Amino acid sequence: MAAVKPLSEISAAIAGSLVSTRHWGDASYISLPLVYPSGSFVTVSLSYAPDGIRVSDGGFAYRETESFGAGRSFANTARSVAEGYGVEVDRRAIFVDVPVDEVERAIFDVSAASKAVAERIVAGLPQETEFEISAALRERLERAFPGAVEHDCKLVGASAIEWDVTALARVDGHKAVFQAVASHPVSVFKASAAFHDLARLDDPPVLVGVVARTADLGKHHAILAQAGRVIEVDAPEEAFRRAAA
């Protein structure tokens, strides 16, 4: 039996990879194991301030919301969230100035506030639901692949993360994943992350993103198309069979 590493070594190795730092110009940046809606990691910056150290999100929450076309919502939402965390807000950043011995606590507060602001704004954006696409997709697939489709499945990717997939078809000895994707960036990024992880499996399935209209994806179409094939939900059944081949 192979020797088992002590838990202390395992946890120390993992902890070291969860947080990364870099220094640029007059500031240091710390990437934390907190994730914005787009899938990018929350990052805070440290710089000198008259009263000690300024801990700031560097405007990352603002840029996150701007990437979803909701930058104008940042100021009001950030002010309402910041109060609960004891931090401050300017036009584009969340920050607080603290003595050196309070920097650790400030990092927690600023990063949590930054993440909360981005999540609140993105959650309130209007979007067509993936459920609507899923309902239409179910009918399409049942006709294209009668008796060979599972709906609302879970697949484990190469990272060991378990992903929810809309449908799984078994076609000519291989699998094809069909994922309902709304036009909203959150849905696109989520599907893209799942596709990239599933593509790294030893025997990866064919990956197909199903959308209402490709034109509605705008610049995010390229992100989804890099990860898998893209097809409109009202495409002919033969198009679904070709996509799964």
Task: Please name the amino acid found at residue 213.
Answer: R
Tens-place pLDDT, residues 177-207: 999 998 877 788 889 999 999 999 999 999 9
Assigned token pair, 37: 């809606």
**Three-class DSSP category at 96:** strand
Number of neighbouring beta carbons within 10 Å of residue 86: 12
Overall pTM > 0.75: no
Q: Is the pLDDT of residue 1 over 50?
A: no
Please identify which residue in the block is written with the tokens 């599907």: 191
